[in-house]
Amino acid sequence: MFLWLALVSFFRNPWRIIPKDLPEGMMLSPADGVVSAIEFLDEHETVDGPAVCIRIFLSVLNVHINRMPCDCELDKMLYRKGKFLDARSEESAKINESNTLFLFTNGERIGMRQVSGKIARNIVCPIHDGDRFRQGQQFGMIKFGSTAELILPRPEQVEIHIAKGDSVRGGLTSLATLSPQTQH
């Protein structure tokens, strides 16, 4: 009975009312969990240049449904085989099995990454190139503890609204605002 209740709890999908009329460029959390890192990178493949990566650790107690951070379209998906280290370790983000989404929003590319963990060995992402999504819309899950990453371009023009250690809720918590691109 306990195992059945634990499984039902893990696969729960609570109703979420996604905020409306958010400022342009506002990115909502793609997952429930705790912000485990905010990294400024010289280069990231999803944005073809400098980026800020916001990493969220999902424990086995969190809701594991992943949600889109903004209105967007899937350009391509890149699955990589890898190890299954504990998702709380920094190294896991670099070498664990992962699924990277290259997304277009407002004329530029952002990234989302699902990373497996020690227990989480099943990334679910039944979407296809060209699919369009609304902000907060469900797109997949990672079963039994994992990490989700939001990768944004132009880090000097990203206003971050959270800090390492903050609890976040998918489709509800505002993570960052990506300023509109300036036209040259």
What are the structural domains, with CATH classification, of the chain?
2-14+23-178 (2.70.70)
Q: Is 146 a catalytic residue?
A: yes
Asked if 83 and 143 touch (Cβ cutoff 8 Å), the reply is no
Per the prediction, the chain carries an average pLDDT of: 88
The DSSP 8-state label assigned to residue 183 in this structure reads P
Query: What percent of the chain clears pLDDT 70, i.e. is strictly above it?
Result: 86
pTM over 0.75: yes
Which residues 6+ apart lie within 8 Å of 178 measured at CB? 25, 27, 110, 152, 153, 154, 157, 158
pLDDT of residue 182: 74
Separation between Cα atoms, residue 67 and residue 114, nearest integer Å:
11
The type of residue at 121 is R
* Given 36, 146, 174, 179, the catalytic residue: 146
Q: pLDDT tens digits for 1-45?
A: 655 454 455 555 677 889 999 999 999 999 999 999 999 999 999
Q: Which residues pair with 115 in a beta bridge?
A: 98, 147
